[in-house]
Amino acid sequence: MILHFAILLSFQLAGEVFSRLAFPSAPGPVIGLALLVFALAIFPKLADELRETVNGFLAHLSLFFIPAGVGIVTQLPQIGADGLAIFAAILISTAAAIAVGALTFAGVSRLIGGGDE
C-alpha cells in the first residue's frame, strides 16, 4: 500500500512540476491526474495494482472535505458580511453554466444532425 501511495503522490508531483515549468495557470494536481489516467490507459496492470489502495481512499473520501469545512468555519465573519453577494454569484454562475451547456449541446446536436430525429 505504501508503494501504491507513493505512485499516486509521484503523479501529483509530476503534475506540479509540469505545471510550474510549462503551464503555470493549470493546477498541478489536475495535470497529475491526467498523467495518471494516461498511464493507466497504457499500462492496465497498473490499474489492477492501484485498485485496492484507490478504493480505500474512496471509502474515506469524506475526510478530504474536512479542510474545506474548516476553511468555511474560519471565514464565517466574511461569509456573513458578503453572504448575499456570494449567494448571488453562485446562483448566477450556476444558471449561466447550465445555459451555456444546454446551448452548446443544442448547437452540437444540430451540427451532427441529431435534432432531426
The domain of 9 spans 1-59
Q: Tell me the pTM.
A: 0.57
Question: Are residues 13 and 53 both part of a single domain?
Answer: yes
Number of domains in the chain: 2
Question: Are residues 1 and 53 both part of a single domain?
Answer: yes
Residue 25 falls inside a structural domain: yes
Question: Are residues 84 and 103 both part of a single domain?
Answer: yes
Residue 64 falls inside a structural domain: no
- How do residues 61-85 score in pLDDT, each as one tens digit? 888 788 888 888 898 898 889 989 9
Distances from the Cα of 116 to the Cαs of 43, 83, 102, 109, 110, in angstroms? Answer: 41, 45, 17, 9, 8
- How do residues 7-22 score in pLDDT, each as one tens digit? 999 999 999 999 999 9
Contacts of 12 (CB under 8 A, 6+ apart): 28, 29, 32, 33
**Which of helix, strand or coil describes residue 77?**
helix
Contacts of 4 (CB under 8 A, 6+ apart): 49, 50, 52, 53, 54
Question: Are residues 87 and 48 both part of a single domain?
Answer: no
